Amino acid sequence: MIVPMKKAKLVVMKDDKERLLQSLQKAGVFMPIPLPDGEPADDAAQEEALLQRAQKSLSLIKRFREKEGLARELTIVGEDDFVNLDPRSQEMLSEIEGIDSRIAELEAENRALAEQMNYFLPWRDLDIKLSDLSKTKHTIFHTGFIKAGKKEDLQLAVLEAGGEIKELGTGPEGLAFIFVNYIQDDASVMEKAKAMGFIEVSLPQTERFPAEIISEKEEMIKNNREEIEKLRERLASIAKEAEKIEVLNDQLATIGELKKAPVKNLLETVYLEGWVRSDQTDEFKKAIDRATDLYDLELTDPAPEDKPPTVTKNNKFVTPFEAITDMFSRPSLNDIDPNPAMSFWFWIIFGMMMGDVGYGVLMFAVFFALIKLRKPKGDGLKLYKLLLYSSITTVFWGVMFGSYFGYTWNPILLEPMKDLTFYLNFSLMIGAFHVITGVIAAAYANIKKGNWLDALFDQFSWVLVILGIVIWVLPGFLADPKLAFLLRYKTVGMALAITGAAIILLTAGRSKKGIFGKLFGGLLSLYNITGYASDILSYSRIMALSLSTAIIAYVMNLLAEMVMGGFFGYIIAVLIYLIGHIFNLVMGLLSAYVHDSRLQYIEFFGKFYEGGGEKFVPLSYKLKYIDRIKDQDANQQEVY
């Protein structure tokens, strides 16, 4: 159900403002709204900057943290510890940032050293100090590179002129050479060398050998790496206390949310306005009373021009399925809550699409274990519960189809890969009843608004048409012997369809002027039967997805049976079973979730649901990492 909202207008003394906001945040039942000329309670820039630092620090130490086991421990923090920032946590941020900065500096230095070292590597075997390569009275030294294919030509040119040449290492430009020419022959030798593609380089003039320079750079890189390793070990040590930074993250997010709460400062008082769920007004008043006994509070119903947020409240079964609706759009004030009806049909159709006892049992075991061990919260918990509940219908339809990990045994209703006509027929009938539910939901919405005639003429008439056609036409059209019993009610179906069509024909044009307008309005409305037919045909995807799951399971079983025999054969067969069925289960879950959701969004919601509602987001603790705030005098606040 959609919970009605109350608009709260609250005035308190300025001295009580901080205590009031803290009390309201602790209660988590009041959603403040921006006001004309309103202002935040305080500037939250400092907290937001610190929050960004905390998030960055958590990201930096993430890879140094020990891998979390399958079972997750809840993070529970006392209220006193939560409201008071731990100075050690902020010191840890500064230390992490300093270490990260130093590591970045050392890594940049190592890259520069590596480039310098690589420059000298081709000249490592040069047994002359670089300062000795300068021009003498009679000779000139040259250092440079040439392609391997030209080295013999270069050597010949130098030696023919009476010079000396030595091959050293290899660089990116080719082979490294050093040679010396007599001054009078140098010009002609160099002309030939350049024609061969010789690239001359100038080495720095220093009283050192290249090998010494390279060794020095290597030692510096080694020392830097050792320092980096020590710094990373320190990060690993800090990572053991990462929970402190996680708590700080939630503390800062909570403080920032509090400071950004919109208020309006008056001369001696503070004015707040916002929304409260009608079923939480008592908790709201208690939260105010805990902060101050001097206040003025007015609770009213929303005015026509107001746009209150919407929040749904359902039982434990329906609540997880609210995530499906929220992915589409939240209900608006003009809507009825679609979740009770949608949850039932999503549950039924999901099980049909999976339709295997073995997969259903496996789903139940996996998602039950994940809920108990991983202790998810929020939308993650809703998704796990949705899939856990859907495992029940997967088992049920698996029994109906006689499917057990792809093996068929004693099908009760049908065998998907054999009874194709019946399965298609059955899927379309499921679709017809799903669409009828959507039409009835639209009628219910009209009745709630007092539009009884609209519900009768525009919705119930179509229920008669669709139901009548299902009984009258569908079984005979598909010639399915398993549904032959419906042919006994063919006359009833015909009567229902004709009655519904007559109501539409006579009433659909009631808002038109003139006899022709009313008549043609009815005829045009009857044309909508094509739209309903198209919607119902979409439910053939139930059979298609169920068949795909069954066929893949059958193929995996067949492949495994083909390789059975001997020790290694059985090992390979087991691997095929495991990998094949796990793959099929995962793909089946994904396909069923997506296509089942599509049927809800288009074929079901399209009949009555508008959406577009705003989410109810009360002022509350912002707990991303903390699971529970332990309060000594009140209920523990948890995030689900």
pLDDT single digits (tens) 3-51: 999 999 999 999 999 999 999 999 999 999 988 766 655 677 888 999 9
- CA atoms of 391 and 360, how far apart (whole Å): 4
121 or 45: whose pLDDT is higher?
121
DSSP string, 402-422: TEETTEE---SS--TTT-HHH
Q: Which amino acid is at 612?
A: G
Beta bridge partners of 180: 141, 164
- CA atoms of 253 and 621, how far apart (whole Å): 8
pLDDT band at 638, cuts 50/70/90?
A: very low
Nearest to 300 by CA among 263, 264, 329, 275: 275
Size of the chain in residues: 640
- Here the tokens at position 517 are 């307008």
DSSP-based helix, strand, coil % in the chain, nearest 5? 65, 10, 25
Beta bridge partners of 59: none
The pLDDT > 70 percentage for the chain reads 93
* Orientation angle between helical segments 281-291 and 17-27, nearest 10 degrees: 150
DSSP string, 226-242: HHHHHHHHHHHHHHTTH
- Residue ranges in 449-480 assigned as alpha helix (H): 452-454, 461-472, 474-478
Backbone φ and ψ of 128, nearest 5°: -125, 140
pLDDT single digits (tens) 382-441: 999 999 999 999 999 999 999 999 999 999 999 999 999 889 989 999 999 999 999 999
Backbone φ and ψ of 9, nearest 5°: -120, 120
Buried b / exposed e over 290-302, threshold 16 CB at 10 Å, is bbeeebeeeeeee
- CA atoms of 133 and 621, how far apart (whole Å): 73
Nearest to 179 by CA among 200, 197, 195: 200
- What integer pLDDT is reported at residue 526 of this predicted model? 83
Q: State yes or no: pLDDT of 259 exceeds 70.
A: yes
Are residues 439 and 459 in contact, defined by beta-carbon separation less than 8 angstroms?
Answer: yes
- Residue ranges in 135-182 assigned as alpha helix (H): 151-160
- What integer pLDDT is reported at residue 635 of this predicted model? 47
pLDDT single digits (tens) 137-177: 889 999 999 999 999 999 999 999 999 999 999 988 999 99
- What integer pLDDT is reported at residue 639 of this predicted model? 41
- What integer pLDDT is reported at residue 507 of this predicted model? 81
Are residues 430 and 348 in contact, defined by beta-carbon separation less than 8 angstroms?
Answer: yes
Look-up of token digits 């005035």: 11
Are residues 436 and 450 in contact, defined by beta-carbon separation less than 8 angstroms?
Answer: no
- Does residue 616 sit in helix, strand or coil? coil
Q: State yes or no: pLDDT of 508 exceeds 80.
A: no
Q: State yes or no: pLDDT of 517 exceeds 70.
A: no
DSSP string, 324-386: HHHHH----TTS---HHHHHHHHHHHHHHHH--HHHHHHHHHHHHHHHHHH---THHHHHHHH
Are residues 320 and 329 in contact, defined by beta-carbon separation less than 8 angstroms?
Answer: no
Lowest mean pLDDT among 166-170, 319-323, 501-505, 606-610: 501-505
pLDDT band at 220, cuts 50/70/90?
A: very high
Q: 122-125 — which CB contacts under 8 Å span 24+ positions?
A: 122/168, 122/169, 122/170, 122/171, 122/176, 123/168, 123/169, 123/176, 123/178, 123/203, 123/210, 124/168, 124/169, 124/210, 124/211, 124/214, 125/168, 125/169, 125/211
Q: State yes or no: pLDDT of 197 exceeds 70.
A: yes
- Here the tokens at position 123 are 């000249």
- Here the tokens at position 492 are 């009833």
- CA atoms of 508 and 514, how far apart (whole Å): 13
